[in-house]
Structure 1
Amino acid sequence: MFDFCINGAGMVGAATALGLAQQGYQVAIIEQRPPQPFEAAQPPDLRMSAISVASVDLLRALGAWQHIEAMRVRSYSELSVWERPDCRTDFTASDAGFERLGYFVENRLIQLGCHQALKNFDNVTWYSPAQISGIKRSASADEPVIISLGSGDEITTKWLVGADGAESQVRQLAGIGISGWQYAQQAMGIIVEFTQPVADCTWQQFTPHGPRALLPMHDNYASLIWYDSPSRLAALAKLSPAQLKQAIENDFPPLGDDFKVLNKAAFTLIRRHASEYVVPGIILVGDAAHTINPLAGQGVNLGFKDVACLLGQTANGQANGEDFAARLRTGYQRPRQRDNALMMTAMDGFYTTFSNDHTPLKWLRNGLLKLAQHTGPIKAQVLKYAMGLA
């Protein structure tokens, strides 16, 4: 029997497995779609994340960051936010006393780095490619969970960890409810290649139709993020690369260099929050427990905060029975639900304030951006929170 079985070996699931393996537990991992191996000549993936300093510290402690860094990452030290050029806030790493604000990394590479680190542990058993077909559990955390796989195999574990994303199968099989809604806007990620290396700065301009953003990547690559109505993005999705380039030049701030469009994909923006993170035999982490508007790039960083908090509760080696379940509810579920809910509310307020053309709100938000530019202590505190250090 395993101590923990992780369903989903993505970024958060693989990090969870790593931490539990480090602590000496017997860990099983179920992964339906193993990631494509890395090759340096591969073009950048569309799915990427802004990784905070705190998340890097966790990945380094887990032994994964060295493998991620050996592939490709892009650090950034400046962040600019504006609606009008004369009302903007510029954040720099030096404002918070650091060399960099964080990193932009392709999701697959974070996943692969964690998988590479997991190879060092003989207390980890993989089931991949594999998928859960059902689970049996009791109303008591003293009884094990029996997991049935599509192959006909069964896994017995003390705890099943749902790290299987926003449409979590574990959450659904456990009957855990969610609250949330779909936002009016959607977003499109666009990979572009410039003729020169991209500056060490990420920026976001707010418009009544939604933000426009640039995320620097390795070499001459960058990711452009275009928020807009579903109908507008559906029209953009039908454009050729040359036509989409023209649309970008019309709707984005000047990018300062010639570029070509390599790839694009639109995705919906949905807020979800699980009513419980812990029920007998089941633990939810990452997107299985919460999804957030990606305006501030905090999604996966909240997931890594879940991992760090959970590992704090499992560190003493006593991870079974009702006593442990009670400790999880107090020491994991309660603080993480609170922190995640606060961040969701903050992002919703941000979204509402900036995604409209109401004159009073325009005055307010531009005034706030202008004020923040000249308020050192406030800027430093905002930066530390975004970096996961406050």
Structure 2
Amino acid sequence: MPETNFDVLICGGGMTGAGLASVLAQQGLKIAVFEAQQPDDFDLSQAFDLRISALGPQTRSVLKRTQAWQNIISMRACPYRQMRVWEMQGFGDITFHANQVNASELGHIVENRVTQLALWQVLDEMPEVTLLCPQKPLKTYRKNAIMYVETESGETFAGKLLVAADGGQSIVRQAFGIGVNRSQYQQACLVVGVNTELGQQDITWQRFTSTGPQAFLPLPGQHGSVVWYHQADEVRRLYQLPNAQLQAEIMAHFPQELGNIEVLSKSYFNLQKQHAQSYIQDGLALIGDAAHIINPLAGQGVNLGFQDISSLDAVIANSRAAGEEWWQG
């Protein structure tokens, strides 16, 4: 069985896996990325995807290290300059403004698929990176201090470091016997793509209620995303409503800051928190959802994955500079 050797094997080519590959390649490391599905091409006429994230300054700085951030801006992103958080029943109310930190914006709302595609466009131009897609790892293991990935196509790849970036149900994490602590939030999250009566907004807000948060994330033009946390049964009921009835429910229960809306699309998911019992072993590292899942907090969760990228990149760089075996845990 033929073997192909790399410095780093990354299982998962989503935002965190592709992001890690882009920065490690800048260290001159030879990278293989395994991903089952190619990102879709982008066209401005496409409807906004419901899976969006609020990318903060640290995440943006990682993306700026390569051409990825410029690629995102060339597609579409919405800057927000204010963030307001308040209680429906209580006195807590705070607004953050970019001016307070001498910045032009606090962050950007970006569709996840745009971020992933922007990173893949960068990886396609990097000679250090081999994108293996569609390739699904069938087996991952350690032998004689070398990490191996066997794919469904029958190929075997060897590397010094194996990175699990394959999501909350990580097969890599399971293969190496790393358990997780998991619990349910007893809530679900309804995500609704809307057209807004108001023009382009530069504020994202979140109101806390007795049944869960309600949030609004602006998108380019008069588009936005409404996020409604509630008990799972209630979220399913809302999801099943015709768009006109769902619109009426949102208008009745959301604050007036939202303004009039038109429902365009909707989806929902159950909320859980999950934490891997270990992030590393010799020759193995977990990042992103493979390591931890938290409440998405109005699209903020992806920033945690990019902090993983920055931390692992720094650890490897420092270890290499010291002449150490950087792939050892």
1:185-264 correspondence runs (5 A): 185-255=187-257, 257-264=259-266
User: 1:34 is matched with which residue?
Assistant: 38
CA distance in 1, matches of 2:199, 2:132: 41
Amino acid at match of 2:222: N
Superposed displacement of residue 265, structure 1: 0.8
- Is residue 113 of structure 1 aligned with residue 115 of structure 2? no
CA distance in 1, matches of 2:23, 2:229: 36
CA distance in 2, matches of 1:89, 1:276: 36
Alignment root-mean-square deviation, CA: 1.9
Percent identity of paired positions between Structure 1 and Structure 2: 39
User: 1:12 is matched with which residue?
Assistant: 16
- Is residue 134 of structure 1 aligned with residue 139 of structure 2? yes
Q: Is the 8 A contact 2:192 2:267 kept in 1?
A: yes
CA distance in 1, matches of 2:285, 2:258: 47
Q: Is the 8 A contact 1:23 1:317 kept in 2?
A: no
- Is residue 101 of structure 1 aligned with residue 106 of structure 2? yes
CA distance in 1, matches of 2:15, 2:34: 13
Q: Is the 8 A contact 1:278 1:325 kept in 2?
A: no
Q: Is the 8 A contact 2:124 2:131 kept in 1?
A: no
Q: Is the 8 A contact 1:241 1:262 kept in 2?
A: yes
CA distance in 2, matches of 1:58, 1:136: 30
**Equivalent residue of 1:89, what SS?**
strand
Which segment is superposed worse, 42-51 or 257-266?
Answer: 257-266
Q: Is the 8 A contact 1:136 1:145 kept in 2?
A: yes
- Is residue 66 of structure 1 aligned with residue 41 of structure 2? no
- Is residue 76 of structure 1 aligned with residue 74 of structure 2? no
Superposed displacement of residue 63, structure 1: 2.4
CA shift in 2, pair 1:55/1:49, >3 Å: same
**Equivalent residue of 2:297, what SS?**
helix
Q: How many residues get paired?
A: 323
Q: Is the 8 A contact 1:198 1:222 kept in 2?
A: no
- Is residue 54 of structure 1 aligned with residue 58 of structure 2? yes
Calculate the TM-score normalised by the size of structure 2.
0.93
CA distance in 1, matches of 2:253, 2:198: 22
CA shift in 2, pair 1:256/1:3, >3 Å: closer
**Equivalent residue of 1:314, what SS?**
helix
1:272-287 correspondence runs (5 A): 272-287=274-289
Superposed displacement of residue 244, structure 1: 0.7
User: 2:307 is matched with which residue?
Assistant: 305
Q: Is the 8 A contact 1:15 1:62 kept in 2?
A: no
**Equivalent residue of 1:315, what SS?**
helix
Calculate the TM-score normalised by the size of structure 1.
0.79
User: 1:168 is matched with which residue?
Assistant: 170
Deviation digits for residues 271-307 of structure 1, max 9, x if unmatched?
1111111112211111111111122643211111111
CA distance in 2, matches of 1:58, 1:230: 35
Superposed displacement of residue 259, structure 1: 2.2
- 1:91 pairs, out of 83, 92, 96, with 96
Which segment is superposed worse, 299-308 or 288-297?
Answer: 288-297
- 1:158 pairs, out of 160, 175, 185, with 160
Deviation digits for residues 7-50 of structure 1, max 9, x if unmatched?
11111110100111111111111001112110000011000001
Deviation digits for residues 307-352 of structure 1, max 9, x if unmatched?
1111112225839x984355xx4xxxxxxxxxxxxxxxxxxxxxxx
Q: Is the 8 A contact 1:48 1:106 kept in 2?
A: yes
CA shift in 2, pair 1:296/1:265, >3 Å: closer
Q: Is the 8 A contact 2:36 2:135 kept in 1?
A: yes
Which segment is superposed worse, 222-231 or 264-273?
Answer: 264-273
CA distance in 2, matches of 1:35, 1:324: 31
Amino acid at match of 2:23: G
- Is residue 123 of structure 1 aligned with residue 128 of structure 2? yes
Which one has the bigger strand percentage?
2
